[in-house]
Structure 1
Amino acid sequence: MTTTPPPHLLNAFGEPLEAWLKDNSLPRFRGAQIRNWLFKQRAEDWDQMTDLPKSLRTQLAADWQLWTSEILKHTEAEDGTEKLLLRLPGGGQVECVLLRDTVRRTICISTQVGCGMGCVFCASGLDGVERNLTTGEILEQMLRLQLLLGPEERLSHIVVMGMGEPLANLDALLPALAEAHRAEGLDISARRITISTVGLPQQIERLAREETSYRLAISLHAPNDLLRNELVPVNDKIGLAAIMAAADTFFAASGRRLTFEYVLLADVNDAPEHARELGKLLSDREALLNVIPYNPVAGLPYRTPTAERQQQFRRILEDAGVRVRFRHRKGDKIDAACGQLRRSQMVELG
């Protein structure tokens, strides 16, 4: 006979936990204590929550799951980057990453098992999307990564740029980010939380209406629909015009500078004409362009452009008046790009 596991505590902050406390004749402040242990004190289990009565800790352990994932692999790079491959209930796997850069401690989290957007150069979407993550599963990534920090370190930034399309799972993502943002949670400023998307106009407009405090990063990867339809197949049903219009709506509502992402693929989207066309698309917008030289994925034919080609691409964009930043690649040796570690583990197991 299969026993149903207890519900996930990280899905229960708010009304579910308050209802449980009330049903068990417990004061509401116990919920605040639990939150403090998880988000501030970095407790790894119930026994570490020493200001809770032992009887309550026993009851919590019986009625709630604190962690639902299993760490399948933990890899570390010389630059301080650490990556976790997590196995979720039911067998799905997701990745999350901790990046260290001077004083910054940035985490990159996933929102789906796999991805349904079909970007042809990305390891995350090679096997399609299996399911959305729950709010608790998104929060669990944050807390597991926080446990990797030393006592003197604290999380400073969150980028929702891991596996999956974040805007396809906003109902679970937004409550998780609210917990990360709130003072009683991770207390991370909304200005330091970035949501990345391939561009889903209706969901971008929803963000503009509901959550304009976060930063938005839109992954372009091509300056026109013809090429983008090849690289990001979902674009065929959307189109760049609709995406840019939604981006303008978000900027008007938030006042926050937009970020656009562009993975640079050798001999695919890195030609001078691509840079000139991209310059025309972005030069009149309050925007930053993050150019990301491709991080090769085993089994895919794409390559990193030469340093000369990258410099030429950058020079054309800057001459057009576009703010450009070439992103420094971290964690190459630990499969730190989206979906790479999961993919390599599947190959090893397969």
Structure 2
Amino acid sequence: MTDRPVLQMAAPRRGKPPQHFADLNHDERAALMREHGLPSFRAKQLANHYYAHLTVDPDDMTDLPADAKGPLTEAVFPPLMKKVTQLEADGGATLKTLWALHDNVKVESVLMKYPERATLCVTSQAGCGMACPFCATGQMGLTRNLSAAEIIEQVRLAARAARDGDLGGDPVRLSNVVFMGMGEPLANYKAVIATVRALVAPAPEGFGLSTRHVTVSTVGLVPAIDKLAKEGIPVTLALSLHAPDDELRNELVPINTRWSVDEALDAARRYFDATGRRVSIEYALIREMNDHAHRADLLGKKLRARGDGWVHVNPIPLNPTPGSKWTASDPAVEEEFVRTLRAHGIPTTIRDTRGSDIDGACGQLAIKEA
């Protein structure tokens, strides 16, 4: 019997994670199999194990040759992250996990159980370069982008945890993924769009999620919004606006000095026109900062001026970070803000908040660890 070749994938450069099966497209996976003397159909088998069975354990892969699967899985599924800390809230229905990446950089993800489904809030960057002053991650600065595989691996591990009953004991399917964790997703466009393709591709090439159950957030990178609109993948776009006027938004979301409120809203409207997918406007309500009735009125007017039926507003009670001067709005002010928007005919729903007792705001665990 001849020795089977041991697969080797590119070693990581400094700061760069090792290349992983999830980084490769269909043709690249097949080529890798052939390069190492294996039939190309082995790539499909590996994809089925990874995306459908949610495993990288060779012992689970009974359809692979016994003497090949160990070296094969070791080569194509290098470890990308390990669990550092996991905190529970909401009776075990919310799990916040701090992960250490290959270079010991720390990132977070949040898995949330709802009736008959689970949602994962996924991280796309270690830290963030957008410098929004009320955001824990924004105050960290940007360490680096995550690779597609590092983002996808968060999804696989979450889907496995949900399936195995780690959320309060009952198995549930991971059906929704939101890019609302650490980082600005559209500033890591290549890896994020590769992840989106893996999320919506049917098994065995992906997780088979509905495009309507995938949300990509942005603080308003206008060229990237327009690029996303042309991808032909109608995921939900969430625009993190937080102020309807340039004067305040320049302070709260510094990228606004490059692309103004009106430019960001126009791009969001173009996204709706291209995809037919209603845009979400995310608005963190900050006490005596952006929660004034006149700002709700201005926001309602600006959204209504761009047409009907294209947008939905999600006011979010701010999850404050320790020592911050920023805090959540008074509930009565919050209710008035919502009433004002609805008076303009804008669908508005206060977004559910989870994990406030476990450092729920993205970045808090990573900051503590640092």
Q: Is 2:201 the partner of 1:182?
A: yes
In 2, distance between residues paired with 1:293 and 1:89?
Answer: 34
> Residue 304 of structure 1: which of 325, 328, 333 is its match?
328
Structure 1 residues 242-288: Cα deviation after superposition (integer angstroms, max 9, x where no partner): 11221121111111111100000001011111111111111244210
Asked whether the 8 Å contact 2:84–2:99 carries over to 1, the reply is yes
Percent of aligned pairs with the same amino acid = 37
Gap change, CA 1:120 and 1:211, over 3 Å in 2: farther
Query: Could you tell me whether the CA contact under 8 Å between 2:56 and 2:77 is conserved in 1?
Result: no
Q: Report the RMSD for the aligned CA atoms in angstroms.
A: 1.7
Where do 5+ consecutive residues of structure 2 fail to align? 1-9, 13-17, 165-170
- Which residue of 86, 111, 125 maps to 1:112? 125
Q: Does 1:325 align with 2:357?
A: no
In 2, are the aligned partners of 1:94 and 1:163 still within 8 Å (CA)? Answer: yes
In the alignment, does 2:361 pair up with 1:342? Answer: no
- Alignment check: 8 A CA contact 1:155 1:186 kept: no
Secondary structure at the counterpart of residue 153 of structure 1: coil
Q: 1:211 to 1:112 in 2, by over 3 A?
A: farther
- For the Cα contact (< 8 Å) 2:220–2:255, is it kept in 1? no
- The 5 Å alignment of 1:277-288 reads 277-284=298-305, 285=307, 286-288=310-312
Corresponding residue to 2:114 among 87, 90, 101: 101
The residue identity in structure 2 corresponding to 1:115 is: C
Task: Give the TM-score normalised by the residue count of structure 2.
Answer: 0.89
Matches within 5 A, 1:46-85: 46-79=58-91, 80-85=93-98
Shift in Å at residue 343 of structure 1? 1.8
Q: Secondary structure at the match of 2:161?
A: coil
Q: Retained in 2: the 8 A contact 1:7–1:63?
A: no
Following superposition, the deviation at residue 99 of structure 1 comes to 1.0
Report Cα offsets for 1:44-84 as digits up to 9, x if no partner: 42222222122121221442334211111111112401111
Q: Measure how far apart 1:114 and its partner are.
A: 0.5
Contact 2:282 2:316 in 1 (8 A): yes
Task: Confirm or deny: 8 A CA contact 1:289 1:325 kept in the other structure.
Answer: yes
Tell me the residue number matched to 2:156: 143
Paired residue for 1:20? 32
| AA at the equivalent of 2:183 | G
Deviations 1:318-350 (A, max 9, x none): 11211100012111122222112212222xxxx
Q: Any gaps of 5 or more consecutive residues in structure 1? A: none
Give TM-score, length-normalised by structure 1. Answer: 0.94
Q: Once the 2 structures are TM-superposed, how far is the Cα of residue 290 of structure 1 from its aligned partner?
A: 0.4
Q: CA deviation at 1:297?
A: 0.5
- Work out whether residues 234 and 276 of structure 2, in 8 Å CA contact, stay in contact via their aligned partners in 1: no
The 10-residue stretch of structure 1 (41-50 or 68-77) with the greater mean CA deviation from structure 2: 41-50
Q: 1:15 offset after TM fit, Å?
A: 3.2
